[in-house]
Each structure stands twice: as structure tokens, then as C-alpha cells.
Amino acid sequence: MKRVVILGRGGAGKSTLARRLGDVAKLPVIELDTLFWEPGLTATDPGRWAARQQELVQQDAWILDGDLGPYDALDVRLRRADTIIVLDFFFPRCAWRAIRRGRERADFWRWVWAYRRRSLPRVMRAIATHAPHADTHLLRDPRAVRHFLTRLSRDDQARNR
């Protein structure tokens, strides 16, 4: 596991998982939201975004955390990923987390609400098309995330013995 993509609806815990995974796997974490959104929450031009991702994925090792919904160009990072984690948590959990973290725009809430129906099928098709080689994990609740991290920690400890 050297090149990891983490996807999922807003409020699912992508950034938290990325930080924890970065600690366990000793990989640098790049939060895509901080690179994508320009001042005033203006979306980066699609061509510039694809070029920026192309630069990021040239590195040998990384965790790219972010799902930008309808603004995203997944193919660039999926092609280079060896591991993909999709967080598919229920809407109420994600909504609660998003509310706790702060105000969001209406388009964010439409995306979060419709994620499982609209975005998740698109994400899974993109993975099948651009990353059939990747080790893909669909985690549906925090317990599955804890088990995933625990298993990685144990595997890492066993390798270091």
C-alpha cells in the first residue's frame, strides 16, 4: 500500500481516516479539498484540476483524501492508486458530522443527500474502469474502519518483527 485514494460522501470521515492511515502506513496525506477550492469556494477549472492531480500522483507514495462529487476528475488519481477506500456511511451519520463541523452550501447538502443514489454508482464505475488493479475496500460504518485500521496495524507489526 503506497498510493491510496479515499472517497465517500461529505461527513463520512475521509480526512480522519486519511490521517490515521497515514500514521499507520507512514504515508504522506494530501487533503484534496484544500487544493481544489479557491477563495469564495470557487471550484478549480477542470483542466487545471486534472493537471494538478497529475503532479500529485507522480510522487511515489501518498494518501489522497477527497471526493469532490460532480466537480471531480477521478480517473487521474484512480489510475495510479494501488489501494482505494470508499466510505459508504448512512446519510444521518454523515449529516450529523457535517453539521458539527460547520456551515455548508446548498450544493454540498444536495450532493451528500443523493450520494448513494447518484455519486456512489459513478465512483464504483470509475474504479472498475480506471483502477481494476487496485485493492478496493468498501467500508460501510465506523466499526469496519476500525477493523481495517487494526488489521493494517497488526500486519505492519508482524512485518517489523
The reported pTM is: 0.93
**Of residues 155 and 37, more confidently modeled:** 37
User: For position 41, what pLDDT does the model report?
Assistant: 82
User: For position 78, what pLDDT does the model report?
Assistant: 97
Give the percent of the chain with pLDDT over 70. 98
Q: Does residue 73 register a pLDDT over 90?
A: no
The answer as to whether 161 is a domain residue is: no
The answer as to whether 150 is a domain residue is: no
User: For position 55, what pLDDT does the model report?
Assistant: 95
The answer as to whether 152 is a domain residue is: no
The CATH number assigned to the domain holding 107 equals 3.40.50.300
User: For position 104, what pLDDT does the model report?
Assistant: 84
Which residues constitute the domain of residue 105?
3-145
The answer as to whether 45 is a domain residue is: yes
Specify the number of domains making up the chain. Answer: 1
pLDDT tens digits, one per residue of 77-122: 999 999 999 999 999 999 999 999 888 888 889 999 999 999 999 9
**Of residues 4 and 103, more confidently modeled:** 4
Q: Give 91's contacts (C-beta < 8 A, 6+ positions apart).
A: 9, 112, 113, 115, 116
User: For position 107, what pLDDT does the model report?
Assistant: 87
CA separation, residue 72 to residues 50, 63, 69, 78, 156 (Å)? 9, 16, 6, 12, 32
Q: What is the dihedral of CA 11, 77, 59, 37, to 10 degrees?
A: -50
